[in-house]
């Protein structure tokens, strides 16, 4: 077991990852700055297109959903959007399923579970009882450690309920309000509602995230006034809140104000810079990384035809959390995924999902287009990639001088290994690593003088001290210092530090 002591102690079984942009895991820095990276969009985009006429997703497919690597394949759950003239009455936007080996080529398996247009030959998942049809965002998490096999997959999604059934907040103009439903499944295809007929959270709450962190389940999503407000009581537009549960059945009525755009100025909803639909998360065990909707508010001045939201556009920004309740933006307003140029398939609004996977040397992120103009553009799913875990890297600010960083306190219950995700490293521009105690004093045998200089680039370059790669175990807590040595023509780039339990080096 490895425990990180960033915002709160978090214990992971196999590996902890300390990202360069995570200033709680890496709080101390000297002569360093961060460079953030945008994804490279795949040339085959969109990789999952709208289905044929009459299919459940003939108007579009939206990664208001999840992509999870399970059992040697990628499993995708997405929101199918049917055309109104072909959709069965009260169908909503149903939950659909696809599979892929490479993340680019996707198959819609014939599940035979749900009748659509008089046939069960489709890829729709079954949610029973069928009292709350999926209307909007759905998010799936895999929970393999749940002792009940029937609950190994967990789902949160939005359905519509009468506003009269919700906790009163004054005059509610909405006859039907978006509310969270939850379900569990043994296989991710056959789902059972949790506490059917009961409101798990009796508020207008557009759930967009389900995850387990620090031993608790969390439901994150979008709220706005009058259901949410700023800490000083001022009204607000879209922001992110988080509810908690110990058992995935009973949810807190209290919530955290999880994320508001830095410098947010209260304005009429939809007109400001807001947080659209919370965030889609990647749970790395000791840290949550997410993409949120950078809502660029309506200007009411646009040359686009049928621009029904008055000029709203969306990109996707980066957030991070070390406790599951509070999120921060490492680079305010930086778009990890930027909408395309006019005329491209994703030129209007970006939508995020829980759709991340490391595949070989790349981090893959799936996203969707949203046509805020109402101009009839299809909603489809694209793929963007980065260097593996390559959201941002450290470099030396003053190139002529050494730089270094020190991590938060760490603890390992047994042997462990350290490796670095780094680039532009050489014998002329090496990296050195040392272990420190909690008082930031070098630990004998693991000082910078004992370290064999790291002189090669790579995604998981092992750290050695006098030919020793495995640290047999340390009493108490320790910290890690990584030194970017001065000299050489290249500026070293450090993306992440990995601590892996055990004696085997895993280069995945």
Residue 172 has pLDDT above 80, yes or no: no
pLDDT in tens, 109-166: 999 999 998 999 999 999 999 999 999 999 999 999 999 999 999 999 999 888 777 8
Domains along the chain? 2-37+393-501 (2.60.120.260), 40-389 (2.115.10.20)
Q: Which of 330, 257, 339 is nearest to 289 (CA)?
A: 330
Who's near 113: CB < 8 A, 6+ residues apart?
120, 124, 125, 126, 189, 190
Q: Distance (Å, rounded) from C-alpha 48 to C-alpha 43?
A: 13
Who's near 75: CB < 8 A, 6+ residues apart?
67, 68, 69, 97, 99, 188
Q: Which of 466, 406, 450, 454 is nearest to 429 (CA)?
A: 454
Residue 305 has pLDDT above 70, yes or no: no
Question: pLDDT band at 507, cuts 50/70/90?
Answer: very low
- Whether residue 378 contacts residue 60, with contact meaning beta carbons closer than 8 Å, is answered with yes
- pTM for this predicted structure: 0.94
Q: State yes or no: cis peptide before 475, omega within 30 of 0.
A: no
Q: Distance (Å, rounded) from C-alpha 423 to C-alpha 411?
A: 27
- Work out the mean pLDDT of the chain and round it to a whole number: 92
Q: Which of 216, 176, 179 is nearest to 195 (CA)?
A: 179
Radius of gyration, alpha carbons of the chain: 24
Question: pLDDT band at 269, cuts 50/70/90?
Answer: confident
- Whether residue 36 contacts residue 318, with contact meaning beta carbons closer than 8 Å, is answered with yes
- Whether residue 234 contacts residue 218, with contact meaning beta carbons closer than 8 Å, is answered with no
């Amino acid at each position: 077991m490895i425990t990180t002591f960033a915002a709160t102690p978090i214990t992971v079984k196999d590996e902890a990852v300390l990202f360069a942009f995570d200033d709680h895991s890496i709080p101390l820095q000297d002569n360093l700055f961060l460079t953030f990276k945008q994804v490279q969009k795949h040339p085959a985009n969109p990789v999952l297109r709208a289905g044929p006429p009459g299919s459940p997703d003939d108007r579009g497919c939206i990664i208001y959903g999840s992509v999870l690597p399970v059992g040697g394949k990628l499993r995708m759950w997405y929101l199918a959007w049917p055309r109104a003239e072909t959709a069965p009455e009260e169908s909503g936007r149903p939950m659909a399923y696809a599979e892929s080996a490479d993340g680019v080529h996707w198959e819609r398996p014939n599940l035979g579970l749900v009748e659509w247009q008089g046939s069960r030959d489709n890829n729709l998942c079954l949610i029973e009882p069928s009292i709350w049809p999926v209307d909007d965002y759905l998010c799936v998490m895999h929970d393999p450690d749940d002792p009940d096999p029937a609950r190994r997959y967990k789902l949160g999604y939005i359905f519509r309920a009468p506003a009269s059934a919700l906790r009163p907040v004054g005059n509610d103009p909405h006859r039907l309000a978006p509310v969270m439903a939850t379900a569990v499944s043994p296989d991710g295809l056959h789902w059972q509602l949790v506490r059917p007929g009961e409101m798990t959270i009796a508020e207008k709450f557009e759930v967009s995230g389900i995850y387990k962190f620090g031993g608790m389940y969390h439901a994150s999503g979008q709220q706005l006034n009058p259901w949410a407000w700023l800490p000083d009581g001022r009204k607000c537009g879209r922001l992110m809140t988080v509810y908690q549960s110990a058992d995935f059945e009973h949810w807190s009525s209290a919530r955290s104000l999880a994320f508001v755009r830095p410098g947010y100025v209260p304005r009429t909803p939809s007109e400001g810079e807001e947080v659209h639909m919370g965030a889609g998360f990647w749970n790395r065990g000791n840290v949550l990384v997410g993409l949120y909707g950078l809502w660029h508010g309506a200007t009411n001045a646009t040359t686009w035809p049928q621009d029904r939201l008055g000029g709203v556009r969306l990109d996707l920004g980066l957030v991070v959390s070390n406790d599951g309740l509070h999120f921060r933006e490492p680079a305010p307003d930086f778009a990890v995924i930027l909408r395309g140029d006019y005329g491209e398939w994703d030129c209007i609004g970006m939508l995020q999902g829980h759709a991340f996977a490391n595949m070989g040397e790349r981090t893959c992120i799936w996203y969707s287009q949203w046509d805020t103009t109402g101009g009839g553009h299809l909603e489809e799913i694209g793929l963007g990639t980065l260097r593996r875990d390559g959201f941002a890297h450290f470099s030396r600010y003053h190139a002529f001088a050494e730089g270094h960083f020190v991590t938060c306190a760490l603890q390992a219950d047994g042997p462990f290994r350290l490796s670095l995700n780094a680039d532009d490293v050489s014998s002329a521009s090496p990296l050195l690593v040392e272990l420190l105690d909690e008082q930031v004093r070098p630990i004998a045998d693991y000082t910078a003088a004992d370290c064999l200089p790291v002189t090669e680039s790579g995604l998981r370059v092992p750290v050695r001290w006098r030919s020793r790669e495995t640290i047999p175990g340390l009493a108490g807590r320790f910290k890690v210092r990584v030194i970017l040595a001065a000299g050489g023509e290249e500026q070293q780039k450090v993306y992440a530090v990995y601590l892996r339990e055990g004696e085997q080096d895993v280069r995945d």
